[in-house]
Structure 1
Amino acid sequence: MSLKPWSEIARPHKDVLEGTFKQSEFAADITQVATGTAPEEYQNAEKFFSRTYITEGMRLLLISVAQRLAGQGGDPVVQLQTAFGGGKTHTMLAVYHLASRKVSTDKLMGIPPVLDEAGITELPTARMAVIDGIQLSPSQVRTYGSTTVNTLWGELAWQLLGEEGYALVADSDRDGTSPGKDSLKQLLTRAAPCVILVDELVAYIRQLELGKQYKGGTFDSNISFIQALTEALKAVPNAILLASLPESELEVGGTMGQRTLNSLEKYFARVESVWKPVGSSEAFEIVRRRLFESSGERAEVEGISRQFSDFYRQHAEKFPVETQSNEYYERLCSSYPIHPEVFDRLYEDWSTLDKFQRTRGVLQYMAIVIHRLWNDGNRDALIMPGSLPLDDANVRNKSIHYLPQGWEPVIEKEVDGPRSVPADIDGHHTLFGGVQAARRTARTIFLGSAPSTQAEMIRGVQTERILLGSVQPGQTIGVFEDVLKRLRDRLHYLYAEQDRYWLDTKPNLRREMESRKQNISERDDVIPLLKDRVGQFFRGQNHHFAGIHVFTTSADVPDDYGTGPRLVVLPLDAGYSRTETNQAYGQAEKILRNRGEQPRQKQNRLLFLAPDFDVVGRLKEQTRIYLAWRSIVTDIENGTLNQDLSHLKQSERSRDAAGQSLGQLIRETWKWLMAPVENFVKGRPELSWEVVTVPPTAPYLVKSIEEKLREEEWLVYEWSPIHLRKVLSDWYLKDGVTEISALKVWQDSCHYLYLPRLVNDQVFRNAIAQGVESEDYFGFASGKEGDRYLGFSFGRNSLADLAESSLLIERETAAAYAEKLRAAEQPTPPTGGTTSGAGGPTPPTGDTDSPLTPPGVPGGQPGGATTPPPAVTGTAKSHFYGTVELDAVKAKMDFATIMDEVVQQFTAQLGVDVTISVEIEARKKDGFDESLQRTIKENCNVLRFSSSEFEED
């Protein structure tokens, strides 16, 4: 079923449609009805009951009245004590029309079932007396023909029996003294069945000053009359009194009014049947009957109500819990075409205002609302809090009529109207404007929060109730949640605390914030704060970067090999965009190519993180908002800004919320990871950029960046020797070149953008070490003397050292050299003379280009003679000890040679234990400074030296 607008289903009464109703007509006047001068809808009993909803309380009262008049029981005295505007006068009218019998009961809508329940087939016609305390005056007499009436009891007697009745109390009326109980009993017996309706009794008696005589009697005589009347009524079985007493202080009227009420309650309490006529749930039907001629076909009403109910259940987490019950569906049906939330807010919140009469006030207010909505062609499915046309002058004036001064500019600017902020939001955002999200939300907040006061412990309306009053089935709830945040950020009179929102006539410091925001400098305030906040995302996190440089100039980004690459976080004016307006490339290239005024050498050690060009503007704005709130909090705390504690708390919440939003926005801004690369075009390297996004929701920014670098292979954490071999063959070991400095290859990988970008030199060392374990890739040597490779490794484990002398050797060259070494290791058979013969080839003579003698090969002698190894005689040698002094400059290379040529001879044998000790001695005539001493000691501790001391010579 489609969600038809209420205006196509329900139809208001003619006077509501045309706007011809008079607000005063909503206030039923019992005296006008009694004198025949009331409007037709109140004067005509048939029309009155057609627009009257018989509530549960009214039903019970009418049953009691009918039974009393028929002499079948019922209460003799009924006290109607209800809150201001609670419907007591309307109830008296119902009793009046029922008892006076000017229209047969079968024509009175809702009355036949009441009489059936009372067990009465024929209701007698009763005499009526209407005593209106506001209509009568204690100082003025009333004249009826030749009879002059002074008092309440004289008025009562005249209305019941005319001259006959007045004669029974004539003396008491002239003297101003109360008639006795017997006189009143006689009067009631003759007049029975009779009904006495007393309205605004307190308003009459409170005018009587203590100890002073009036034509209407004294205070005490009037109180005595009420006492006697209530006692007399108990003795007459078919006479009944209905009296209204006020409940609110506003109606009581001062000290004398309270004294009067206390006195009357003492006597009414003996025989009264207190009745509260209107419950909140019954108000739906009362208002609907009075304002709507027809609420629509039952099937259509239930269909619309079902769609709302189902919508609330589908999104249960967004709406109040009571909307999930079938009872709420019934409330939707019974209040249609008005949403129950409108009634709840008016009856629960607005009825707490002194001037707001409950049922009467709701009727007056909703009549104006419905008239305006009907004429404007409102298309809402229900009349909701978000539907209230507060931009209409009549509706706005009626709304602020009940509120303290100061609300009109708040409504015009921040709730509804052509120049209001919500209208501006709806007008500039199609998503919001299509459903009037901002205006509907602001209206709902107003209806739910305007009656609140600063003295309340909990103020405002919850988000779930804002949504309940604003969103209709088929609309996106998220749109209204989003617009609520925008209203919170822009409105000056809207307060927000946790999940509650409320409007007030006192500014919420947002205007102060807006003013301060305009004076915040981008260079002096925004950029320094952002530099610090961005830096916080990288602090305390483990990473492989040698440095992370936030908003750093090219001169301050080091140009070194480092322990890892460097991440440069570009500033706000270097935003990246996929469009041609890209500022990031220019600034990044400037840092990439130069360090200050000097050319940068290690270009392949830099990576860049750029801000999103499209978010930078919002980020600057959010930073200013945060700084403005922070300064307000500071000024309130130190007394510079005079504000109360509630505003301090509000500003602290606003500051914290702005700070949290700023943190999220920073992550959304710096999300473009950029890596420079070079490709050769026509023999020349050409710079280009590879760019990917870093997820802004990842918990750890550095970790997320490194994962992206690994994923995109922009940073090599593990390097296979096959890739190193390819780099060597592509760039170094070609055109007859068979070896290259390992250090140069590493350094070149840090210089040139067309080479792989390694995390650090250890990745390079590991690739070499893995490569030389086999004979498939390359060889390695720690140095070279002539044709001899020192510390040569090919096909065996080796620690790669990146000294200046270290070499990477082309595979075939390394294989040939290894073969040469293996051939030299083969033993030569001993000969018997110095001439060659059939025994074998002449052994080689000494060769200055040969390497050190391999193990097991006798040293060559001049002339080609060889000497057999000496025979072992005596005890075998089982301990070796050797000492050698090394040149400090060449120690690294010399030590590698010693390891290969001496130590390895021992470790190659089984059962040999080798111990190596390193002894270092250094001297300086003028002594070592403390910084060097400290560094040496710390390094020695790390390297586990058994002893390391500085001494004086």
Structure 2
Amino acid sequence: MDPSSQLPWKPWHHVVTLREDLRTGELALNQFAADLYEVLMQSGKRPLYEDPHPFFALTYPTHNLRELAKDVALRLAGQNDKAVQQLELTYGGGKTHTLITLRHLFHDPVHLPTLPAVDEFVQHIGQTPPHARVVALCFDKLDLERGLEVRAPNGQTRRLKQPWSLLAYQLAGDAGLAQMRDDGQAEERTSAPAESVISPLLESVTQQGLSILVLIDEVMMYARGRYSQDPKGWDALIDFFQGLTQAIVKTPRCAVIASLLASDPDKNDTLGRRLQGQLYDIYRRQSESAVEPVVKEDAAEVLRRRFFTPESIRDRNAFKPHVIAALKGIQVFDDSAKGKKVENDFVQSYPFHPDLTEVFYTKWVGLDRFQKTRGVLRTFALALRDAEHWDDSPLVGPSVFLNTPAQTDLAAATRELCIYAENEDDSGHKHEWKGLLIGELECARRWQDQTIGLKHRELEQAVVATFLHSQPIGRTAKLKELTRLIGPTRPDKINLEKGLRGWAEDSHWLDDQHTDTATDATLPKEWRLGNRPNLKHMHDQAEKDIVTDVVKDRLEKEIGKLKTWFQVPPGLGVRLHLQPKQPSDIEDDGAFHFAILGPNTASEASDPSPDAVRFLTEKTGPNTPRAYPNAIVLVVPSRDGLRAVEARIKDYLAWEKVDADLGKLEATVDPARKNQLQTKLQAAKQAVPGLLRQAYCIGVTLAAHQQPVAFRLTVSGDPLFDAVKAHAEARIMDATLDVDALLPSGPYHLWHPGDTRQRVKVLVNAFAERPALPKMLRTQYLYDTLADGCVNGAFVLLLTRPDRSVRAWWRTRPDDAVMTDKDLELVLPEAATLVELDSVLLTPGRLPGLWTSDVLTVRQLYDYFQGGHSIQVDKGGGYEEPLFIPKTERATVDAAIQSAVVAGTLWLVNPPSSLWAEPIPTGVLTEAATLRLPPPAINVLELLPAALPDAWVNGQATVAAIAQALSAKNSLPLPWKTVCDAINGALQANYLEATGTWPCEIAAAAQVTLREKMAAPLKITPTVDYGQKPAYHTQIAIAEIELATHEVQDLADVIPELTTLQATHAFPMRLFVRIECGDGTKELSEDLRTQVNAMLEKVQKSWQLKK
């Protein structure tokens, strides 16, 4: 079954039929190049042009061509003045075809064939064309040395050299030659004839009843050569044309039609254009505006008549359903492709896509060597002949320029187009379009094959369409122009855009000035295939030259640049190692080590590389295993991530090379290209650190079962170590342990059965040695845990000094230096004997179960430390467990009691002794003695007679009496210091005064007498003048009292309340403060007074101590 029968449209070649001579190859491509001279001479070589019948069968009478024929006919009939006409055509634009048309119309009008084209000309002229003697000056055939053979009216031929000779001979034979000479000889004259010579010659012909039509073709072909041979010969030619045009204008029924351009583009150089300008000046003086017989709107009909059978193109209405089918695909990409006008345009152009012919007639005509209509005819003849066998498009579009689907070479038509483009002048640079297109088509096919919904070679069509739109160099195709050309085969829009985007990304020759403006979600707005490789192509070529060692060197440098990211936050005590070369570069010392290994250790999750494992298990080699393998965590790159980084580094290095290469061409590189390169260079450079971070995502360490384990990390912008620490498989502990975890009953099995003591250093190092234990981030955490255990009584710490003396800690915290001492031992309380006991522990609340009341007997204390004693302590949640109290000898306990009493933290009572803040005499510290908290301070008012009458006799009392009375009042002998402090306070407050030596020891207390002190009344500056208002003083309420220093603070605390009360009730209030320094027996030194005054000035500058 024909695959095309499954399509929702008919391929163009199922609607219109190629001419058999084109299909079989009988129509030679050189037949598209018309030759006026052969027609003139009727040589029989080109019957297609020489015979009017086949010629008019293929000729399309365009509007402008019919107008030209009408103007010429009327001139030859003597009905208008348009004697001189100039054809305005580019190379291959149909100028010679136009001249041949005029020759056939007026040479023998009576015998013109009966054909539609001839009828159109005759009807447009409005009469039978007049018979004329047609003369042709075919300058492309005129040789400067040998001249050109031409035919006289009588059929004879003669070879002549001068253009005016050719004219005269064709008009009147030898008589014409003789008429232009003074001597009447039928020979050539060397000088150009003037108008006065040419006009009689023309009249001699018109007098015979004939009109004269002079056709001039390819003037510049001859003019260039004549000028090069002899510049004066060029002047003669100019004179000839001047005289000819003047004579033609003056002579009725004469016309000249001139085509000045040369079919050889090489003649259109600077000299050619100057000479051409001089010729134009001559013809413009005599002619109307230039005529362009064939315009782009005529292209489709010209092509149809030349390529397809008349029967298949006769009914244009039959094209409409096929046009509608094609537009249905185009309208998906272009909303403007709707409406009757668009439909009519496509019908007029069918089967050719109008946008395709538009490209040739608006862009390719700008190529020096592309010969417009002739070039289009040749190109499409090649394309249609081949594409008919496989093209399934509804219109003749860019697909016809593709080769057979199985072929990777270029189609013949496309190769010819490449030749035109490659020979385009561009500052001496030749463009290798053939190889370029082969590569681009291959890239398009790759994306075509992997993109669904593209079944009609749409991406290959896009390459061809872009190539066509990119001519001449510098032109571009808008995105809509591409999709309109591709659209007729109805590709899926999303998949087409995906494929185009892929081609744009991989293309080596698409201009990246346009493709770089696109994003992942958009396509480039403009497309251009350049004559120079794009930056991507240069990059890909540079990338091939980059060796692996260079990539590895750059990779190591890039890893070093991530030092900040690899850095461990300060304060953790972790030692960082960046890319160590061998295991011995990482110390085996029990400290926590964090290593970033090099690329050679790349691993994957659950698959650590052997090179990485060596760093965990070896110290210096396979025979020296690492002692502390649990104190190391490694991070290595993943294999996939490393490949991605290496690829990106290679990419970056390639861009650097491109940058260097372009730097050598500084003068020829445009700024936009430099900016593109810098953008790509920076993007590649900036991508490396991010990819490198993503690559370093594999943590490697020893698992609890002592086997290496690799695990994937979740990396971010935060320090890498944070991700490692947070991963469960790293088993990093960043906190102190529970004290119970270090006990023999704990989960870590740190104690051998029956052991009651071990060195602290051994226990701490166990966490670095044994993979089954957590990895302690900081060994300080272990020391802190042990110290905490010592403080709460779970452990006893013993340190044997070099002199064999021993220090012990229990329920107290040793300093850091002690904790890290290598000789420090950890002993379980039930197996320990304390050789020293901190006296602070004896105070209430420090030891559980020791103080059951306010009084503790020394015997109870002895029992508490007798050994083998434990108490139940609450562990929370209603759970209790025993706490063992280490054994302590009585002497050690006594020393602790002695220290506590002397330090004033405990009060010892063993009647009649009462001791506090003083040494305990020998013999007083017995089992019957009791310990209490220090006695409270005695208020000085309690020493006055009113409060202590039993001690006072006749207004005086001895210190001994005061002490006895106070002890009796408290039912307990008071410490001598407590009594002394109370008396000193009363003396300082001026409540009492003493006679005798004070202070004194308790033995001399009976010799010191105390009396109440009668102080003078306090003088207060009156608030108002008593003399004026004697009653005022009685209206003031006064509160006076002596305050202890701590009570002044209490007063400050209630001041806000007093001021609030004053504000509420609006009464005046003044504060008077009096400070006395000294006891009245010794004057205060000047130095002390200065110091006190400095302090008082901080309150108020005028406040000073005065004598």
TM-score category, normalised to shorter length: 0.5 to 0.7
Give 2:24's match in structure 1, choosing from 18, 36, 44: 18
Does structure 1 conserve the Cα–Cα contact (< 8 Å) formed by 2:702 and 2:709? Answer: yes
- Go from structure 1 to structure 2 and tell me whether the alpha carbon gap of 1:808 and 1:257 turns closer, same or farther (over 3 Å shift): same
Q: 1:486 to 1:823 in 2, by over 3 A?
A: same
Give the letter for the 1:612 counterpart.
R
Name the structure 2 match of 1:359.
373
Shift of 1:531: 0.8
Partner of 1:265: 281
Deviation (angstroms), 1:180: 5.4
C-alpha distance after superposition, 1:494-550 (max 9, x if no partner): 997775653569999889958854xx463xx33222111233345478764953624
* 1:370 counterpart letter in structure 2: L
Percent identity, please: 18
The Cα shift of 1:608 comes to: 1.8
Return the letter of the residue paired with 1:690. F
Distance in 2, matches of 1:386 and 1:244, equals 33
The answer to whether the 8 A contact 2:724-2:730 is kept is yes
Q: 1:635 to 1:90 in 2, by over 3 A?
A: closer
Instruction: Give me the whole-angstrom Cα distance separating, in 1, the residues matched to 2:849 and 2:433.
Output: 102
Structure 2 residue corresponding to 1:587, chosen from 604, 611, 619 = 611
Determine which of 92, 95, 99 is the counterpart of 1:85. 92
> Displacement of 1:290 after TM fit?
3.2
Matched, 1:227 2:245: yes
Q: Which residue of 2 aligns with 1:916?
A: none
In the alignment, which residue of structure 2 is the partner of 1:601?
628
Pair 1:787–1:643, CA change in 2 (3 A):
closer
CA distance in 2, matches of 1:782, 1:60: 124
Distance 1:733 1:566, change over 3 A: closer
Residue of structure 2 in register with 1:949 after alignment: none
Return the letter of the residue paired with 2:582.
T
Given that 2:617 and 2:626 are in contact with CA atoms closer than 8 Å, whether structure 1 keeps it comes out as yes
Q: Is the 8 A contact 2:300 2:348 kept in 1?
A: yes
In structure 2, give the amino acid aligned to 1:788.
Answer: W
1:828 corresponds to which residue? 854
Answer with 1 or 2: which has the greater Rg. 2
Aligned residue type for 1:858: W
DSSP 3-state at the match of 1:874? helix
Q: 2:290 aligns with which of 262, 274, 280?
A: 274
Q: How far off its partner does 1:241 sit?
A: 3.6
CA distance 1:497–1:67, change in 2 (3 Å):
same
The one-letter amino acid of 2:585's match is D
- 1:502 counterpart letter in structure 2: G
1:136/1:754 Cα in 2 relative to 1: closer, same or farther (>3 Å)?
A: same
Which residue in the other structure is 1:553 paired with? 582
Q: Which deviations, in whole Å up to 9, do the C-alpha atoms of 1:154-184 show, x marking residues without a partner?
A: 8768878999999998999878544355774
Give the counterpart of 2:154 among 134, 145, 154.
Answer: 145
Deviations 1:822-879 (A, max 9, x none): 6656762699xxxxxxxxxxxx99945899689975357612334645233313999x
Measured in 2, the distance between the counterparts of 1:757 and 1:501 equals 62
Q: 1:24-103, aligned counterparts within 5 Å?
A: 24-33=30-39, 37=44, 42=49, 51=58, 57-58=64-65, 61=68, 64=71, 75-95=82-102
**1:84 CA displacement:** 1.9
Give the superposition deviation at 1:807: 9.9
Aligned residue number for residue 889 of structure 1 = none
Moved more, 146-155 or 220-229: 146-155
Distance change (3 Å), C-alpha of 1:378 and 1:859 = farther
Contact kept? 2:86, 2:258, Cα under 8 Å: yes
66-75 vs 648-657, which moves further = 648-657
Among 866, 889, 907, the alignment partner of 1:858 is 907
SS at match of 2:599: coil
1:532 paired residue number: 557
Q: In terms of mean alpha carbon deviation, does 550-559 or 501-510 score higher?
A: 501-510
**Match for residue 689 of structure 1 among 678, 700, 710:** 710
- Corresponding residue number in structure 2 for 1:934: none
C-alpha distance in 1 between matches for 2:297 and 2:817: 88
Q: Distance in 1 between matches of 2:551 and 2:233?
A: 82
Which amino acid in 2 is paired with 1:262?
Q
Distance in 2, Cα, partners of 1:309 & 1:632: 42
The match for 1:873 is 983
Q: Which residue of 1 aligns with 2:1083?
A: none
Partner of 1:244: 259
C-alpha separation in 1, matches of 2:45 and 2:327: 37
Contiguous gaps of at least 5 residues in structure 1? 314-321, 453-457, 695-700, 793-797, 811-816, 832-843, 879-909, 912-953
Structure 1 match to 2:939: none
2:345, 2:581 → 1: CA distance? 65
**Aligned with residue 502 of structure 1, among 503, 518, 530:** 530
The one-letter code sitting in structure 2 at the alignment partner of 1:865 is A
User: How much has 1:38 moved relative to structure 2?
Assistant: 7.5
**Aligned CA distance change for structure 1 residues 428 and 495 (closer, same or farther; 3 Å):** closer
SS in structure 2 opposite 1:688? strand
Distance 2:350 2:844 in 1: 99
Instruction: For 2:22 and 2:319, locate their aligned partners in 1 and report how far apart those are by CA, in whole Å.
Output: 20
Shift in Å, 1:632: 8.8
User: Contact (CA 8 Å) 2:215, 2:258: kept in 1 or not?
Assistant: yes
Count of equivalent residues = 805
Q: Summarize the alignment of residues 119-130 of structure 1 with structure 2, pairs less than 5 Å apart.
A: 122=127, 124-125=129-130, 127=132, 129-130=134-135
Give the secondary-structure state (helix, strand or coil) at the position aligned to 2:985.
coil
C-alpha distance 364-570 of structure 1, shift in aligned 2 (>3 A): same
- 1:346-382 deviation digits (Å, cap 9, x = unpaired): 5666555544323222322332233333456687976
CA distance in 2, matches of 1:61, 1:808: 125
Query: 2-side partners of 1:386 and 1:782: how far apart?
Result: 98
**Counterparts of residues 908-919 of structure 1 (less than 5 Å):** none
Contact map agreement 1:450 1:504 (CA 8 A) in 2: no
Structure 1 residues 865, 210: CA separation in 2 closer, same or farther (over 3 Å shift)?
A: closer
Give the Cα separation in 2 of the matches to 1:674 and 1:747. 27
CA distance in 2, matches of 1:366, 1:485: 31
The answer as to whether partners of 1:630 and 1:655 remain within 8 angstroms in 2 is: no
Question: How is 1:384-399 mapped onto 2 (pairs within 5 angstroms)?
Answer: 384=398, 387-389=401-403, 391=409, 394=412, 398-399=416-417
Alpha-carbon contact 2:630-2:702 (below 8 Å) kept: no
- Residue 290 of structure 1 is matched in structure 2 by 306
In 1: Cα distance, 2:132 partner to 2:827 partner? 126
Shift in CA distance, 468/259, structure 1 to aligned 2, threshold 3 Å:
same
* Length-normalised TM-score, structure 1: 0.63
The 1:96–1:485 alpha-carbon spacing in structure 2 relative to 1, beyond 3 Å, is same
Corresponding residue SS for 1:596: strand
**Equivalent-residue separation in structure 2 for 1:190 and 1:766 (angstroms):** 135
Question: Displacement of 1:133 after TM fit?
Answer: 2.0
Q: Which amino acid aligns with 1:593?
A: T
Aligned to 1:703: 718
1:94 and 1:33 map into 2 onto residues whose CA distance is 10
Counterpart of 1:528, as a letter, is D
What is the CA distance between 1:88 and its match in structure 2? 1.8
SS in 1 for 2:530: strand
CA distance in 2, matches of 1:675, 1:77: 92
Is the Cα contact below 8 Å between 1:353 and 1:451 reproduced in 2?
Answer: yes
Q: 1:536 to 1:874 in 2, by over 3 A?
A: same
Change (3 A) 1:633 1:169: closer
Q: Secondary structure at the match of 2:695?
A: strand
Query: Aligned to 1:373, which of 387, 400, 407?
Result: 387
Task: Find the aligned partners of 2:211 and 2:270 in 1 and give their Cα distance.
Answer: 37
What does residue 747 of structure 2 align with? Answer: 730
Contact 1:85 1:360 in 2 (8 A): yes
Matched residue of 1:875: which SS? helix
Query: Which residue is 1:431 aligned to?
Result: 450
Cα distance in structure 2, aligned partners of 1:595 and 1:367 = 81
Give distance in 1, aligned partners of 2:756 and 2:844.
Answer: 14
Q: Deviations over 1:656-693 (max 9, x none)?
A: 9589658747855763622346666xxx5444332257
Q: 1:227 is paired with a residue of what secondary structure?
A: helix
Is the contact between residue 422 and residue 487 of structure 1 (CA under 8 Å) also seen in structure 2?
no
Q: 1:510 to 1:677 in 2, by over 3 A?
A: closer
